Structure 1
Amino acid sequence: MSREKVKISSFLAEREVRYKPDIANKLGLKRVKKIDFTGNIHLVESKPTRTNMILVKKGDLLISGINAEKGGVAIYEYSEDAIATIHYSSYTYDESKIDIDYLKWFLKSNEFKQTLIDQAGSGIKSELKPKRFLSLEVSLPTLNEQKEILKNLNSINSEAEELKSLIVENEVFLSKLRQSILQDAIKGKLTQKWREENPDVESSSELLRKIKTEKEQLIKEKKIRKEKKFEKISNEEIEFDIPASWTYSRIVDLSKVVTDGDHSTPERTHEGYYLLSARNVTNKGISLQKVDYVSESEFIRMRKRCAPQKGDILISCSGSVGRVAIVDKDDTYVMVRSAAMVKHFHEYLDSEYLAFSLKSPYLQTQIVKKTKTTAQSNLFLGRIKELVVPLPSLEEQIAIKEKVKQLFTYCNEFEQEIKISKNNAEKLMQSILSELLGQENNVLVNKSASRNQERKLSREIKYNSKTLLMDLVEILKENGKLHAEDLWKMSKHPNDIDAFYAELKKQIEEEKAIKEVVNEKGYLELA
């Protein structure tokens, strides 16, 4: 296959139409908001601008000069014209030299994205400008050869899409499987054999009697407040039969306290004690990403209202309602009112069983029904207290918990296989792109670049399937010194360059775990 090395400017031309702000504001055209890193262009309605704008027309190649190295490149396919800030550049193409669908595939290749990283660097100061972009060279097949390559790519892509569809189906199945496990758990289906083998276990009605006795004593001692009387559980609230030794109970009857976080606005600090809100309550546990802090004095004040201790249950009750987490440490957290706490009787009710129950379809349906939706969804304390939970004996709660955790282990293993399949599918497609487009065609080089730099860019990419689920430090421990491109393709983010560089930046600048190799541009090693 013949390949002619040509400048990009031989088949692309910058659309040089510019508008002053006063003219742009009168056009009434939609505006490019962003190009996401999967190559989709997002538009917003016309809004006033104070900067010069460029014109974008259907079929133009649109590039984000700031985020080009992260995949901010796409073909504009909307029928109506749009405008964009001068941080974007728009290009027309010569149909006699380049097939637009071939160009789309070319722009999807990891090699193209990596070249933009190498050429543009990162940040506004190294923005990819048209003059620089158009001066790059590429080995270009003839138009007929491009069309032949397209036939193969489209055929393979059809199979790849079927594979992606199967992966999505597996993800949906896995989500439904987890929900089914939780629903079967609170119906007693997972422990039917256990009950047959343990017929003399104390009934849950006796468990409730003990809780009631202890709760009355705590009220008498003024350690907790007496709750208002809630209505008896109605038949409408019961969706399924439970084993004879079980009973239904409201959350309020299983708890010492059901409360939420501080209702005033606490004074936040840059460090100190953790201040949790709804965003920190996830179904995988308490997340300390984007967590706020308060001083010791605020911490002491706020814990007078709500003092989460290890084993207590937290529920997100504002915005995204119904996420459930178990408190993992004593004397560590305070909360704002967007999160609620259930301080149940730990000696009679297993925390993990209660958390699994609250995550089940039965309880989540109750939560949705009891949520008040205005500007945002809110689940108020009275509604949380009303929630109805199937209650087995403590011994059976523990047996259920262990069975669910065992089944979830299988689900987790399946999930890892799905993640590996997704990564492998992406890497396979990129490998096919490299093969069909041609390695030389996937490597852009600046005409002024030295031969040594050209050899580095066209080197064989390293790959190790064992690294698919490793973090960057583990990959370097396993493989030693690596080029940044190798590290990217062997990482968890082979199709998300933004996520890769965010992790890499953290390991270099914050963790000080990775460093650049001296006198070997583009290579990384453990610090």
Structure 2
Amino acid sequence: MNNHWQSVPLGNVLTERREKPSDEKLATGAIRVVSKISFNDGRIQLREDGETKTGMILIRPGDLVVSGINAAKGAIAIYGKDKMEPIAATIHYGSYIPNEGKVDAKYLWWLLRSNTFRDLLNQFVPGGIKTELKAKRLLPIPVPLPDPPEQKRIVARIESLAAKIEEGSRIRYQVTEKVDAVFSAQNERTISNLYERYDKAPLIDLVDQERGISYGVVLTGQPNEEGIPTLRAGDLQQFRVLTTSVKRIDPGIEVKYLRTRLRGNELLLRIRGGLGEVAVCPPEMISGNVSREIAVIPFTERINPTYGMYALSAPYNQGRMTAHIRGTSYVGINLKDVRNLTIPVPKMPEQLEVVRHLDGLRMQVDRMKKLQTETAAELEALLPSILDKAFKGGL
């Protein structure tokens, strides 16, 4: 901390508001109730109803609102002075009136969401960040407090840098979206060209007829550490099978689904729980199985599985699948519609050329996305570093 700054108990600059909302106004919705405070940006989200089974506190415009349970995670907000009506929250929140002559509310908001304050919690509160932060624990905590003009300067500097970080994150997100769009467009052009040049065939005519196209285990039951690894909807993502947390199920359940028992290199298509994700079964899933959210497509030697993956992932075929969506509470595509999907059937050398081309492009996309992910981590680490520097007087 800057040697010229005072260390001041929060109780010197904050006063706990002890008002309670009226039951009538809660019941009629005249006073809205806090649902939660966002960890990332400290925004207050309000409930649609005013029902509650616990005591309530009142929050007025300009108050600093602190979640007693999640303060250390960033659940701290300022209820804006521009608001016309008070709101309410459960007694697991605290509402505090800043002393405007001594403290800038925004300064406190940034401070209480910083690692500097988390360190103070661990130092001055029994149980540290795991303890519910009631007023009797919060208000005695000493915090670094420069004079009001310096507080405002620090806030302005933090907000300027935070805006630049947010802009960097927005650009990073846009780049990631554009990279995905470039691959999708190239995939579409490649597959569309093949539709124009070659005969098409329904998927059902291109698979092992003994196995057909089927979905897997309907009720997977309780996990069994010694059981059969069984892929679920979330295990298929962006042309990959994620095998790090695959559920294992009772062999007595799995044995009833021999048609979908995996032999390797089948095409896997998510038909429920997020339609359209495709991936080729990897070697480590041989002798495993799939749940009902996934259709197993065991191509014959006429079709390279990775070629089939790219053909079904092209926007044209994704659109055809979307057009056949059924259901309301459990949305998906019927196997009959999957079996009738058609793909072009070029000779194997051309299929392999398509795979070579799109694999190469996807590798470039993956490299760019990895770089963007690393950049995102760096951006996320910037703001905590800035806050740490700010509240030590180095900004």
Q: Which residue of 2 aligns with 1:61?
A: 64
Deviation, 1:384, is: 0.8
How far residue 179 of structure 1 moved from its aligned partner, in angstroms, is: 1.2
Q: Quote the offset at 1:387 in angstroms.
A: 1.6
Instruction: Answer yes or no: is the 8 Å Cα contact 1:317–1:338 preserved in 2.
Output: yes
How big is the shift at 1:47? 4.5
**1:354 Cα deviation after fit:** 1.3
Which residue is 1:425 aligned to? 379
Change beyond 3 A, Cα 1:154–1:293: closer
User: Are the aligned partners of 1:62 and 1:74 in contact in 2 as well (CA < 8 Å)?
Assistant: yes
- Cα separation, 2, equivalents of 1:294 and 1:241: 41
| Alignment-mate amino acid for residue 254 of structure 1 | L
CA contact 2:267–2:279 (8 Å) conserved in 1 = yes
Distance 1:146 1:332, change over 3 A: same
- Measure, in 2, the Cα distance between the counterparts of 1:137 and 1:412: 48
Structure 1 residues 379-434: Cα deviation after superposition (integer angstroms, max 9, x where no partner): 00111112222332222222222222222222222112222322333333444434
Describe the shift of the 1:123–1:311 C-alpha distance in structure 2 as closer, same or farther (beyond 3 A): farther
Match of 1:129 in 2: 134
Residue aligning to 1:457: none
Correspondence 1:106-145 to 2 at 5 A: 106-116=111-121, 126-145=131-150
Picking from 165, 174, 182, the partner of 1:169 is: 174
Q: Find the partner of 1:258 among 188, 213, 221.
A: 213
Structure-1 separation of matches of 2:126 and 2:43: 22
Tell me what 2:151 maps to.
146
1:359 pairs, out of 291, 305, 313, with 313
Give the residue type in structure 2 aligned to 1:64.
S
Superimposed CA distance per residue, residues 311-357 of structure 1 (whole angstroms, 9 cap, x where no aligned partner)? 11222212321111222245533333222221111x22111221122
Does the 8 Å CA contact 2:203/2:343 hold for their aligned counterparts? yes
**Identity over aligned pairs, percent:** 28
Write out per-residue CA displacement over residues 9-68 of structure 1, whole angstroms, 9 at most, x where no aligned residue: 111122223469x77864633332222321233221224322222222333222222222
CA distance in 2, matches of 1:360, 1:55: 54
**What TM-score comes out, normalization by structure 1 length?**
0.65
Query: Partners in 1 of 2:245 and 2:51 — Cα distance?
Result: 33
SS of alignment partner, residue 34 of structure 1? strand
Distance of 2:24 and 2:247 partners within structure 1: 45
1:51 aligned to 2:3? no
- 1:229-251 Cα offsets, whole Å, 9 max, x none, are xxxxxxxxxxx864x4x333222
CA distance in 1, matches of 2:392, 2:336: 64
Distance in 2 between the 1:98 and 1:132 partners?
A: 20
1:15 aligns with 2:17: yes
* Unaligned segments of structure 1, at least 5 residues: 189-239, 443-527
The CA deviation at 1:106 is 2.8
1:334 matches 2:289? yes
Tell me the CA shift for residue 160 of structure 1: 3.3
Contact 1:19 1:53 in 2 (8 A): yes
After TM superposition, the structure 1 = structure 2 runs for residues 57-96 of structure 1, keeping only pairs within 5 Å, are 57-77=60-80, 79-96=84-101
Please tell me the root mean square deviation across aligned C-alpha atoms, in Å. Answer: 3.1
Name the residue aligned to 1:478.
Answer: none
Which residue identity does 1:76 align to in structure 2?
Y
Contact 1:138–1:441 (8 Å) recurs in 2:
no
1:381 to 293, 318, 335: 335
The count of aligned residue pairs is 384
The residue that corresponds to 2:8 in the other structure is: 6
Q: Distance in 1 between matches of 2:394 and 2:37?
A: 24
Q: What is the identity, as a one-letter code, of the residue corresponding to 1:301?
A: K
- Paired residue secondary structure (1:135): coil
Q: Partner of 2:237 in structure 1?
A: 282
SS at match of 2:255: helix
Q: Which runs of 5+ in 2 are unaligned?
A: none
After TM superposition, the structure 1 stretch with the greater mean CA deviation from structure 2, 135-144 or 33-42, is 33-42
**1:135 Cα deviation (Å)?**
0.9
- Does the CA-based 8 Å contact 1:370-1:383 persist in structure 2? yes
Distance 1:434 1:157 in 2: 13
Which residue matches 1:203?
none
The structure 2 residue matched to 1:105, chosen from 97, 110, 120, is 110
Q: Quick one: distance in 2 between partners of 1:62 and 1:109?
A: 16
Determine helix, strand or coil for the equivalent of 2:35. strand
Specify which of 23, 43, 50 is matched with residue 40 of structure 1.
43
